[in-house]
């Protein structure tokens, strides 16, 4: 590994400068991404063709001095492999042809074999690892069981979460069966990604933050903890760190830290120093710049980087990132300023 800053920071080991990667760093703000997507015709083909997925995964690393690569994929590959048939509509986001409507559908759901139904993902991981050639570590990822269940029951995005909460409140046992299956499916999927070459794992819990505390603990965090426990912890002599990111989950940082994960993803609402005080040295912290800061100027981006680095302060365990995926309208030139500023301005804290 030529650059292991990211791995070291995840394990709270000393680094020369603070590592940085960016959620959705392979995305629409890059003209080269838009060109590849054009060639692929649509988003699902981009995800399902290992050569395309590899190509866009590597694009941001050509432009910026990023400290990690993240597999280009979608969190809904698992429900798609379970037979729900994912598709995307312009402006409406992901949809399923066969959403979960009955208990019988839950009972009948089969756990996919990641090396068969999701082979395109593990093939992409192997290909990316080969092409990366030790430049930076590769992050594999999955959606949390609760987040996947939300999309599967709602049939797509929602504002009210009425269908999934109806199931949760009225048939908590059916919900548990669904979440158990998804936890198993996610575990198998992530272990297959690790076996194919993923060196870090991230769980995206996009919709845990819409739950009450008790429901979050019982129906979202609980299943993420099961996954963390059952993941391959070491592969070819290397520890595989796990990051958990619950969007709108600031209420529960202490609980997340107690799952046994290595790092917590943060949004921009709390100063990172305040979050650090709450979790101590139990886990590393990843974040936490508002992606809208990239609509400003090089000077303002540098100033905000300085603020966040100062808020975290000295010591190990900070991975710089945005608090949410980068927006499609962002100027790549400001991303370069961001990445270089983090490396330059963080020296004094290490």
The residues annotated as belonging to the active site are 24, 28, 37, 74, 151
Taking CB under 8 A as the criterion, the residue among 13, 42, 108, 297 binding its own copies is 297
Judged by CB under 8 A, does residue 217 bind its own copies? no
Span of 30-38, 199-207, 266-274, 278-286 interacting with its own copies by CB under 8 A? 266-274
| CA end-to-end distance (rounded Å), the chain | 21
Taking CB under 8 A as the criterion, the residue among 97, 130, 169, 313 binding its own copies is 169
Judged by CB under 8 A, does residue 298 bind its own copies? no
Report cis status (omega within 30 of 0) of the bond before 244: no
**269-290 burial code (b ≥16 CB/10 A, e <16):** ebbbeebbeebeebbbbbbbbb
| Contact track, its own copies, 54-83, x by CB under 8 A | ------------------------------
Q: How far is the CB of 278 from its own copies (least distance, A)?
A: 12
Span of 63-71, 161-169, 219-227, 253-261 interacting with its own copies by CB under 8 A? 161-169
Judged by CB under 8 A, does residue 160 bind its own copies? yes
Query: Rounded to an integer, what distance in angstroms lies between the CA atom of residue 350 and that of residue 346?
Result: 7
Judged by CB under 8 A, does residue 310 bind its own copies? no
- Using the structure block, give the residue that is written with the tokens 């990111």: 245
Judged by CB under 8 A, does residue 103 bind its own copies? no
Judged by CB under 8 A, does residue 101 bind its own copies? no
Cβ neighbours of residue 151 closer than 8 Å, sequence gap 6 or more: 76, 79, 94, 96, 143, 157
Judged by CB under 8 A, does residue 110 bind its own copies? no
Taking CB under 8 A as the criterion, the residue among 89, 102, 133, 214 binding its own copies is 214
Taking CB under 8 A as the criterion, the residue among 83, 260, 271, 332 binding its own copies is 271
CA dihedral angle for residue 147, residue 252, residue 291, residue 189, rounded to 10 degrees: -40
Six-digit token string for 177: 């069966």
Cβ neighbours of residue 34 closer than 8 Å, sequence gap 6 or more: 28
Taking CB under 8 A as the criterion, the residue among 16, 51, 65, 251 binding its own copies is 251
Integer angstrom CA distances of residue 102 from 109, 162, 183, 330: 11, 15, 20, 42
Taking CB under 8 A as the criterion, the residue among 98, 115, 176, 300 binding its own copies is 300
Taking CB under 8 A as the criterion, the residue among 116, 170, 173, 237 binding its own copies is 170
Tell me how long the chain is: 350
Taking CB under 8 A as the criterion, the residue among 161, 195, 217, 230 binding its own copies is 161
**93-117 burial code (b ≥16 CB/10 A, e <16):** ebbbeebbeeeebbeebebbebeeb
Q: Is residue 164 within 8 Å of 202, Cβ to Cβ?
A: no
- Whose Cβ is closer to its own copies: residue 282's or residue 300's? 300
Number of residues that bind its own copies (CB under 8 A): 31
Q: Is residue 201 within 8 Å of 239, Cβ to Cβ?
A: no
Taking CB under 8 A as the criterion, the residue among 209, 260, 298, 332 binding its own copies is 209
Query: Rounded to an integer, what distance in angstroms lies between the CA atom of residue 102 and that of residue 310?
Result: 51
**139-155 burial code (b ≥16 CB/10 A, e <16):** bbbbbbbbbbbbbbbbb
- Whose Cβ is closer to its own copies: residue 83's or residue 271's? 271
Q: How far is the CB of 109 from its own copies (least distance, A)?
A: 23
Binding site for its own copies (CB under 8 A): 160-162, 165-166, 169-170, 209, 211-214, 216, 248, 250-251, 268-271, 274, 290-293, 295-297, 300, 327, 329
């Amino acid at each position: 590994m030529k650059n292991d800053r990211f791995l070291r920071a995840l394990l709270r080991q000393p680094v020369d400068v603070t590592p940085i990667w960016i959620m959705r760093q392979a995305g629409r703000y890059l003209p080269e991404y838009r060109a590849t997507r054009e060639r692929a015709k649509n988003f699902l083909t981009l995800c399902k063709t290992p050569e395309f997925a590899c190509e866009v995964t590597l694009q941001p690393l050509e432009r910026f001095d990023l400290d990690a690569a993240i597999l280009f994929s979608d969190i809904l590959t698992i429900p798609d492999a379970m037979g729900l048939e994912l598709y995307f509509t312009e402006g409406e986001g992901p949809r399923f042809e066969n959403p979960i409507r009955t208990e019988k559908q839950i009972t009948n759901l089969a756990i996919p074999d990641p090396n068969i139904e999701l082979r395109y993902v593990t093939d992409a991981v192997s290909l990316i690892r080969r092409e990366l050639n030790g430049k930076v570590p590769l992050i594999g990822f999955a959606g949390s069981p609760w987040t996947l269940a939300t999309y599967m029951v709602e049939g797509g995005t929602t504002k009210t979460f009425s269908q999934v909460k109806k199931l949760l409140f009225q048939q908590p046992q059916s919900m548990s069966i669904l979440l158990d299956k998804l936890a198993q499916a996610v575990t198998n999927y992530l272990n297959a990604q690790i076996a194919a070459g993923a060196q870090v794992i991230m769980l995206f819990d996009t919709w845990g933050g819409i739950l009450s505390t008790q429901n979050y603990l019982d129906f979202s965090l609980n299943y993420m903890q099961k996954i963390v426990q059952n993941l391959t912890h070491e592969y070819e002599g290397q520890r595989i760190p796990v990051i958990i990111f619950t969007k709108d989950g600031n209420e529960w940082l202490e609980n997340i830290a107690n799952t046994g994960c290595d790092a917590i993803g943060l949004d921009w609402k709390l100063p990172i120093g305040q979050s650090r005080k709450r979790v101590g040295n139990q886990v590393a912290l990843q974040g936490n710049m508002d992606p809208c800061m990239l609509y400003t100027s090089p000077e303002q981006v540098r100033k905000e980087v300085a603020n966040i680095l100062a808020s975290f302060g000295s010591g190990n365990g900070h991975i710089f990132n945005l608090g949410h995926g980068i927006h499609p309208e962002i100027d790549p030139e400001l991303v370069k300023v961001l990445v270089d500023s983090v490396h330059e301005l963080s020296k004094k804290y290490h």
